[in-house]
């Protein structure tokens, strides 16, 4: 592959912080939620280390997904938690204006700055998932999510998958699990804006059964080496 690739790293659900304006409404509700409903544990550490290894922009979500989900499009009913969804429209509009729109805009600025240098951007959106969901156990340890209708993105992702399976043989690494890469999300929205010759969007989904805090640096190091190998 050509050397004209640049990376950006995002972690939409990196924080469990509740905005001050919503603390009264959300704190009790948050305490009753499962952790994965509040934020994605381990993603902040992995994203920070991966961006450092790749020397690329890092964009972290600053607030809990209970306030507004940065990985859902405007109009998606699951963009707001039930408590926030029932608030007045002006309050939800304020959350979009102050939290959602600036996050998405910062990502686009980073992407377009790299594209201006005639580079293809590889956007790595870092997430983690609960091992058991709705009573069913998920067998995957690491999912690589991509759009299989974009040939360049699919080829890139499958090369990455092949390399990671070699260097992480004890992990169950699968394409488009536990979700499909075409489901509504940040990368999906960006694919609509940019051609695949200029944008490759990949979600990396880590199982929360892994010790992401202890081993996050190791996973980031392995990922960075594999990504650099794919882009050579």
The pLDDT tens digits of the residues spanning 166-187 come to 999 999 999 999 999 999 999 9
pLDDT digits (tens, 9 = 90+) for 8-38: 999 999 999 999 999 999 989 999 999 999 9
Q: What is the mean pLDDT of residues 62-83?
A: 96
Q: Report the predicted TM-score, pTM, of the whole model to 2 decimal places.
A: 0.95
What's the pLDDT score for residue 2? Answer: 47
What's the pLDDT score for residue 3? Answer: 52
Separation between Cα atoms, residue 222 and residue 226, nearest integer Å? 6
Q: Please count the structural domains in the chain.
A: 1
Q: How confident is the model at residue 137 (pLDDT cuts 50, 70, 90)?
A: confident
- What's the chain's average pLDDT? 95
Q: Which helix (H) or strand (E) holds 199?
A: strand 199-207
pLDDT at 138 over 90: no
Q: How many CB atoms lie within 10 A of CB 211?
A: 11
* Helix residue ranges per DSSP H, 34-118: 35-38, 43-54, 82-85, 89-95, 101-116
Report the percentage of the chain scoring pLDDT > 90: 90
Q: CB-based burial of residue 67 (10 Å sphere; 0-12 exposed, 13-18 middle, 19+ buried)?
A: buried
SS3 at position 22: helix
Give the range of the structural domain holding residue 132, as residue numbers without chain letter. Answer: 5-231
CATH code for the domain of 59: 3.40.630.40
Integer CA distances (angstroms), 199 to 78, 108, 146, in order: 26, 11, 12
SS3 at position 212: helix
Separation between Cα atoms, residue 126 and residue 113, nearest integer Å? 21
């Amino acid at each position: 592959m050509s050397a004209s690739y640049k990376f950006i790293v995002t972690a939409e659900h990196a924080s469990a912080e509740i905005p001050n304006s919503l603390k009264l409404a959300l704190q009790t509700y948050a305490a009753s939620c499962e952790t994965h409903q509040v934020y994605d544990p381990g993603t902040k550490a992995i994203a920070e280390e991966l961006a450092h290894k790749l020397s690329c922009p890092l964009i972290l979500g600053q607030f809990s997904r209970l306030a507004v989900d940065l990985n859902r499009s405007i109009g998606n009913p699951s963009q707001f938690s039930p408590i926030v969804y029932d608030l007045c429209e002006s309050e939800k509009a304020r959350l979009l204006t102050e939290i959602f729109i600036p996050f998405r805009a910062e990502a686009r600025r980073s992407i377009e700055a790299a594209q201006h240098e005639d580079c293809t951007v590889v956007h790595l959106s870092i997430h983690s998932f609960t091992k058991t969901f709705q009573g069913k156990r998920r067998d995957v340890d690491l999912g690589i999510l991509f759009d299989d209708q974009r040939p360049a993105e699919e080829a890139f992702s499958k090369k990455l998958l092949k390399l990671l399976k070699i260097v992480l043989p004890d992990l169950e690494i699968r394409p488009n699990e536990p979700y499909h890469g075409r489901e509504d999300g940040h990368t999906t929205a960006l694919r609509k804006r940019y051609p695949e010759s200029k944008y490759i969007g990949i979600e990396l989904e880590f199982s929360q059964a892994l010790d992401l805090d202890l081993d996050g640096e190791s996973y980031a190091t392995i990922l960075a080496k594999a990504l650099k190998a794919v882009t050579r």
